[in-house]
């Protein structure tokens, strides 16, 4: 019966195209959206992951960068440095604000870096300097290109003009980019010289960051210390919290479109072969075998749709970075599992009506000229 | 005569009830022997389709009993009927009813597979059967690429693949031209006479009378007339025994289309040897027994 399902499916090329194409588009919608948000999740933690820090120390209660504000007094640096297992501490200033390039405003994490920073600076500089000097800024290359500016051009950060001294790679996402200026400029702009936003801590070789985190929490008051992984996890959670509703709605829309297309095509395909199913029933084929054929047809259609949707998502994911867009698409295993399950649900639900139709089919129609 | 393959006893089928009740088949009884071809004719609405559906275990009779090889099919539970249809019956339809997406070979093999024959064995069996019906070169053709006669031969192969005791044919020649129709009739006769299967045909086609052992006329749900066919030994025409000219020789009855044939036969019976197969075909002479004309 599986062969019959396969042959039935491929006999009408137009129906197959509509059915598989419709499902592929619906699944592409879900997969692409998932890939975009997975990309955002990954990119939004790229600074944390590439900072070189093992531990992030913030004001008590602050657990992430995005849309957060943290302020730590100078004295904390000394106290953290005194914690056993701490090898180096780099204070940074941080603010989420716009950078203005050629009158184009782009939301960015603005990082104020000390001259002697051992961590927290740009990690992939394509052109120019890797440390910003006075009056200089290092910005993302794709954002600069999009705004039509380059090395030596002007960028406005926190209302102050800076000269672009370096361009970095992998520092932009759909949400924002990262811009680096010197700590002195940041302090001057803020008008405050005795506080920092975060401390980026490196631990001694062979020391577990988790153990050092526990010591910092025990020995330094009014701070929240987290390992890099935990800090990144919190950052991703913020994106998840912001995007869950959107993703749920889009998933639902994709699911409903896929279901509608599949249900309609499987139903019409079964209707078109009603006489043949009647013949099979008359010949002695059991209902359950016919149900299996219909279900197999739906599953095959959805499987092809899934494969095509996935292929297009991969092509999109590979093409998007080449278009200079500040977006990364990542196809996660979880997304594949989710869309795979949705596909199975679509196939199963799409087969319900045709199965009911077959169940009610009188095999004696073969002798009645239908 | 051997025990009947198919025996139906006082079978009726009613639709609706009270004032809307329609009796499609009324108290019909029939017995079909192995190797016998029974042709059921009748006007539209006479109950032929209903009767055929009941014979094929596609429809339950309201009253009466249908036995196939001694088993009471009409008493079987609904869920056992598909199995019976698959293994005990072969169906041949007016519109061929082949599965359009499958090749000739697959159309036959799928029925064998559903009856439990493994894939390659089913395909081999189907291929042999199709080859024996002259379709060896058409195995991988889709139905749309086959002629009407070829389609009907594929349908016959499908009907035979599970070795059924009874073949039920619904207007098997209706969509075929005269030559191909005759070929299909010859095939059905071969199935009955050479393979010993019983064949019940419902048709309006008068030509089928030529191969039928009995012709039943169904009208208003009842058999009104029963005609037994015989071959005129002089001219070879198929004649209805009840209306034919008759002669008896050595205790054996012979039937003729006209008095002239009868007189010619009686003037020199030895000239008109009836082939044993033809004699057996029409029940004039049990197969294997000496031809009375030889005596």
Q: pLDDT averaged over chain B?
A: 84
pLDDT score for A367:
72
Query: Closest by alpha carbon to B51, among B43, B40, B36?
Result: B40
> Which domains does chain B show, CATH number per domain?
6-223 (3.40.50.300), 229-294 (no CATH)
Which of B95, B102, B111 minimises the CB distance to A7?
Answer: B102
Q: What percent of chain A has pLDDT over 70?
A: 99
Residues 6+ positions from B193 with CB-CB distance below 8 Å: B35, B277, B280, B281
Residue contacts between A and B (CB atoms, under 8 Å): 71
Give the Å distances, CA to CA, from B178 to B96, B97, B173, B213. 17, 20, 8, 21
pLDDT-based confidence at residue A15 (cuts at 50, 70, 90): confident
pLDDT-based confidence at residue A16 (cuts at 50, 70, 90): confident
Find the farthest-apart pair of alpha carbons in chain B and give their distance in angstroms, rounded: 63
Greater confidence (A365 vs B293) lies with: A365
Tell me the C-alpha distance between A58 and A198, whole Å. Answer: 5
pLDDT in tens, B5-61: 889 999 999 988 888 888 899 999 999 999 999 999 888 888 888 898 899 888 889
State the average pLDDT over residues A160-178: 89
Using the predicted structure, report yes or no on whether residue A163 has a pLDDT greater than 90. Answer: yes
CA pseudo-torsion sign B139, B142, B148, B151? positive
For residue B111, how many other CB atoms are within 10 A of its CB?
A: 26
Using the predicted structure, report yes or no on whether residue B231 has a pLDDT greater than 50. Answer: yes
Is A174 near chain B, with CB under 8 Å?
no
Tell me the C-alpha distance between A220 and A203, whole Å. Answer: 16
pLDDT score for A210:
95
Residues of chain A found within 8 Å of residue B155, distances taken between Cβ atoms: none
Going across the sheet that includes B6-15, the strands are: B22-32, B6-15, B63-68, B71-72
Residues of chain A found within 8 Å of residue B94, distances taken between Cβ atoms: 369
Is B170 near chain A, with CB under 8 Å?
yes
Which of A180-184, A314-318, B187-191 has the weakest average pLDDT? B187-191
Chain A residue with minimum CA distance to B160 = A283
Note which residues in 78-137 of chain B have CB less than 8 A from chain A: 82-87, 89, 91, 93-95, 97, 99-102, 106, 110-111, 114-115
Q: Inter-chain contact B85–A366, Cβ cutoff 8 Å? A: no
Q: Inter-chain contact B93–A279, Cβ cutoff 8 Å? A: yes
Using the predicted structure, report yes or no on whether residue B143 has a pLDDT greater than 60. Answer: yes
State the smallest CA–CA distance between residue A269 and chain B in angstroms: 12
Which of B53, B83, B110 minimises the CB distance to A4?
Answer: B110
Using the predicted structure, report yes or no on whether residue B295 has a pLDDT greater than 70. Answer: no
For residue B258, how many other CB atoms are within 10 A of its CB?
A: 15
Query: Closest by alpha carbon to A31, among A353, A258, A324, A263?
Result: A258
Greater confidence (A370 vs A101) lies with: A101
State the average pLDDT over residues B158-176: 88
Name the 3-class secondary structure at B268.
coil
pLDDT in tens, B92-107: 888 888 998 899 999 9
Is B7 near chain A, with CB under 8 Å?
no
CA pseudo-torsion sign A42, A45, A51, A54? negative
Which of A11, A281, A284 minimises the CB distance to B101?
Answer: A11
State the smallest CA–CA distance between residue B202 and chain A in angstroms: 10
pLDDT score for B281:
45
Is A284 near chain B, with CB under 8 Å?
yes
Chain B residue with minimum CA distance to A13 = B101
CA pseudo-torsion sign A288, A294, A298, A300? positive
Q: pLDDT averaged over chain A?
A: 88
pLDDT score for B66:
93
Using the predicted structure, report yes or no on whether residue A61 has a pLDDT greater than 70. Answer: yes
Contact between A327 and A174 (Cβ < 8 Å): yes
Strands (E), B5-59: 6-15, 22-32, 37-41
pLDDT-based confidence at residue B273 (cuts at 50, 70, 90): low
Is A15 near chain B, with CB under 8 Å?
no
Instruction: Please give the DSSP secondary-structure letter assigned to residue A172.
Output: B
pLDDT in tens, A228-265: 999 999 988 887 887 778 777 887 888 888 788 878 87
Residues of chain B found within 8 Å of residue A282, distances taken between Cβ atoms: 56, 58, 85, 91
Tell me the C-alpha distance between A348 and A340, whole Å. Answer: 12
Is A221 near chain B, with CB under 8 Å?
no
Q: Inter-chain contact A284–B86, Cβ cutoff 8 Å? A: yes
Q: Inter-chain contact B101–A279, Cβ cutoff 8 Å? A: no
pLDDT in tens, A129-156: 999 999 999 999 989 998 999 999 999 9
Structure tokens at B76: 């079987």
pLDDT in tens, B104-134: 999 999 999 988 898 899 999 999 989 988 8
Residues of chain A found within 8 Å of residue B45, distances taken between Cβ atoms: none
State the average pLDDT over residues A177-205: 91
Residues of chain A found within 8 Å of residue B102, distances taken between Cβ atoms: 3-4, 7
Using the predicted structure, report yes or no on whether residue B225 has a pLDDT greater than 80. Answer: no
Which of A41-45, A174-178, A284-288, A325-329 has the weakest average pLDDT? A325-329
Using the predicted structure, report yes or no on whether residue A327 has a pLDDT greater than 80. Answer: no
pLDDT score for A157:
93
pLDDT score for A197:
94
pTM of full prediction above 0.80: no
Query: Closest by alpha carbon to A226, among A207, A200, A206?
Result: A200
Q: Inter-chain contact B114–A284, Cβ cutoff 8 Å? A: yes
CA pseudo-torsion sign A72, A73, A79, A80? positive
Q: Inter-chain contact B93–A366, Cβ cutoff 8 Å? A: yes
């Amino acid at each position: 019966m599986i062969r019959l399902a396969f042959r039935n499916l491929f006999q009408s090329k137009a129906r197959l195209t509509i059915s598989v194409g419709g499902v592929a588009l619906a699944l592409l919608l879900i997969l692409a959206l998932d890939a975009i948000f997975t990309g955002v999740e990954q990119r939004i933690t790229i600074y944390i992951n590439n900072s070189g820090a093992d531990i992030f120390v913030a004001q008590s209660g602050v657990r992430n960068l995005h849309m957060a504000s943290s302020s730590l007094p100078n004295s904390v640096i000394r106290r953290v440095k005194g914690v056993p297992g701490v090898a180096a501490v780099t204070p940074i200033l941080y603010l989420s604000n716009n950078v203005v390039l050629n009158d184009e405003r782009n939301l960015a994490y603005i990082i104020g870096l000390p001259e002697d920073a051992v961590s927290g600076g740009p990690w992939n500089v394509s052109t120019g300097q890797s440390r910003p000097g006075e009056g200089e800024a290092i910005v993302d290359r794709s954002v600069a290109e999009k705004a039509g500016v380059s090395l030596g051009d002007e960028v406005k950060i926190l209302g102050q003009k800076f000269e672009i001294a370096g361009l970095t790679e992998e520092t932009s996402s759909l949400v924002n980019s990262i811009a680096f200026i010197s700590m002195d400029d940041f302090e001057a702009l803020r008008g405050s010289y005795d506080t920092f936003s975060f401390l980026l801590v490196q631990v001694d070789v062979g020391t577990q960051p988790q153990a050092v985190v526990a010591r910092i929490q025990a020995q330094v008051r009014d701070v929240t210390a987290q390992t890099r992984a935990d800090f990144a996890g919190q950052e991703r959670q913020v994106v998840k919290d912001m995007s869950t509703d959107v993703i749920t709605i889009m998933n639902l829309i994709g699911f409903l479109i896929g279901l509608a297309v599949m249900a309609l095509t499987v139903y019409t395909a079964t209707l078109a072969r009603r006489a043949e199913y009647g013949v099979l029933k008359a010949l002695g084929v059991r209902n359950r075998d016919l149900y299996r054929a219909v279900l197999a047809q739906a599953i095959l259609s959805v499987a092809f749709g899934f494969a095509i949707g996935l292929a297009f998502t991969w092509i999109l994911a590979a093409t998007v970075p080449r278009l200079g867009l500040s977006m990364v698409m990542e196809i996660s295993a979880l997304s594949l599992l989710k869309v795979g399950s949705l596909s199975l649900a679509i196939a199963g639900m799409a087969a319900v009506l045709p199965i009911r139709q077959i169940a009610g089919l009188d095999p004696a129609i073969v002798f009645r000229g239908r | 005569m051997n025990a009947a393959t198919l025996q139906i006893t006082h079978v009726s089928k009613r639709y609706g009830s009270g004032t809307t009740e329609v009796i499609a088949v009324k108290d019909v009884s029939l017995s079909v022997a192995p190797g016998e071809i029974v042709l059921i004719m009748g006007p539209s609405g006479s109950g032929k389709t209903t009767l055929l559906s009941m014979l094929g275990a596609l429809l339950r009779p309201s009253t009466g009993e249908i036995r196939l090889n001694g088993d009471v099919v009409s008493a079987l539970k609904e869920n056992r009927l598909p199995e019976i249809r698959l293994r005990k019956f072969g169906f041949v339809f007016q519109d061929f009813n082949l599965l359009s997406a499958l090749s000739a070979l697959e159309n036959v093999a799928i029925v064998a597979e559903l009856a439990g024959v493994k894939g390659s064995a089913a395909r081999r069996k189907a291929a042999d059967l199709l080859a024996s019906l002259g379709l060896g070169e058409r195995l991988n053709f889709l139905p749309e690429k086959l002629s009407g006669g070829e389609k009907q031969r594929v349908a016959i192969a499908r009907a035979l693949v599970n070795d059924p005791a009874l073949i039920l044919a619904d207007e098997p020649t209706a969509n075929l031209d005269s030559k191909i129709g005759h070929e299909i009739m010859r095939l059905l006769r071969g199935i009955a006479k050479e393979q010993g299967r019983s064949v019940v045909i419902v048709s309006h086609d008068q030509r089928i009378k030529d191969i039928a052992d009995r012709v039943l006329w169904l009208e208003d749900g009842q058999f009104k007339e029963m005609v037994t066919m015989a071959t005129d030994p002089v001219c070879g025409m198929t004649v209805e025994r009840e209306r034919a000219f008759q002669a008896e020789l050595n205790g054996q009855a012979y039937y003729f289309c006209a008095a002239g044939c009868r007189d010619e036969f009686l003037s020199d019976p030895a000239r008109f040897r009836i082939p044993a197969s033809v004699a057996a075909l029409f029940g004039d002479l049990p197969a294997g027994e000496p031809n009375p004309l030889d005596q």
